[in-house]
Structure 1
Amino acid sequence: MDEVIIKEKKVIRLIISGITFLIVCIYILTVGIIERNLFLIIIGGISTVLLSATLIFIIKNALSSIPLLIIDKNGITDISTLFSVGFIGWQEIKSINVRKKSRKEYIIITAYDLSKLMKRISPAKRVAIKLNLILKHLPIEISALSLATADIKFNGLVSLL
């Protein structure tokens, strides 16, 4: 199999949207502090921190030449989100399916031994993936939304796999 590298493009809209939402979150936090409203402070603070981290990740990936996804003869390397597991060898993959959940499409990768994959990733990612499991997300899923800025359409990726 030839190596297929899927890179990000068209992220300007995503960055502008992120900055807009970040400004709204900072405004909510500021109003909460001025009015001494604990609810607004908590919502504004958490939203500001999470959105800032996400925006930094998006900008960092846009400025670097790190691809979202690499598919080659050895396996799949998923770097499309903060919670991606990274490299998964073909011999570690039990199945690849497409699932629709809440009107969003996902590529679901089922591994033979998930605990082996979890040991290879950082503790922070491990915690994030465990939180995703609590929220009923599967540990290895590639969202059509996370590939919205990619240089390949979701259906094109599905046909490659």
Structure 2
Amino acid sequence: MKEKIEILLSKNKLFLGIGGSILFVILGIWLFLSADSFQQHSFRLLRNPMVIKGIGVLGILFFGATGIFGFKKLFDKKVGLIIDSSGITDNSNASSVGLIEWKDITDIETKQFMSTKFLLINVSNPEKYIGKAKSGMKAKLMRSNMKIYGTPLSITSNTLKYDFGKLEQLIHTEFEQNKNVG
């Protein structure tokens, strides 16, 4: 590779994500506060106020965390993704750990969960990257990815100013050119 490719974070996508998170936190609060009003629901499980309150609390926690992450990213001056001769420097999502070296990457796969496509970056030593996590929560998130997908590392274009199809093609091309270097 001759030059460094920098892909910026998308402020528009971050605003949309924050807005969605706020709406789901409000929904979670509503569920928690109105759990007793579901007594007549036709689905038996939803008649239990503790289940409704639990769903509300989980919604508040999960979407509150994604909203906080999006808000922090909104003011982040770092580039979302850098691709150069060293590897891929990821700063695009909650489980990003910085530089993923080409020499460590064994394979790159595309997966889809619901409507979100993402790249799984398989590495020879996953523990090296889990060890780079700056917080216990990030390490737990990475271990969860490891259990589900077999790798702690994933990249999506959800917060990037870049189309996923183009990102997928770019990373595959650069991987092929750099996998035997270094």
TM-score normalised per structure 1: 0.82
For 1:6, the aligned partner's letter is: I
CA distance in 2, matches of 1:67, 1:75: 14
Q: Who is 1:91 aligned against?
A: 103
User: How far did 1:82 drift?
Assistant: 1.2
CA distance in 2, matches of 1:33, 1:57: 32
Question: How do 1:1-161 and structure 2 match up within 5 A?
Answer: 1=1, 2-9=3-10, 10-11=12-13, 12-32=15-35, 37-100=49-112, 104-122=116-134, 123-136=136-149, 138-143=151-156, 147-161=157-171
| Structure 1 unmatched runs, 5+ | none
User: How far did 1:86 drift?
Assistant: 2.6
| C-alpha contact (below 8 Å) 2:31/2:52 kept by paired residues | yes
- Which range is displaced more, 106-115 or 46-55? 106-115
The alignment of Structure 1 onto Structure 2 pairs a total of residues equal to: 158
Q: Which has more radius of gyration?
A: 2
CA distance in 1, matches of 2:85, 2:154: 20
User: How far did 1:152 drift?
Assistant: 1.4
| C-alpha contact (below 8 Å) 2:81/2:92 kept by paired residues | yes
| C-alpha contact (below 8 Å) 2:95/2:138 kept by paired residues | yes
RMSD between superposed Cα atoms in Å: 2.5
| Structure 1 SS opposite 2:34 | helix
| Structure 2 unmatched runs, 5+ | 39-47, 172-182
Residues 15/116 of structure 1: CA separation in 2 closer, same or farther (3 Å cut): closer
| Structure 2 SS opposite 1:130 | helix
| C-alpha contact (below 8 Å) 2:145/2:153 kept by paired residues | no
Residues 99/24 of structure 1: CA separation in 2 closer, same or farther (3 Å cut): closer
| C-alpha contact (below 8 Å) 1:22/1:48 kept by paired residues | yes
Residues 99/34 of structure 1: CA separation in 2 closer, same or farther (3 Å cut): closer
Between the two proteins, what is the percent identity of the paired residues? 25
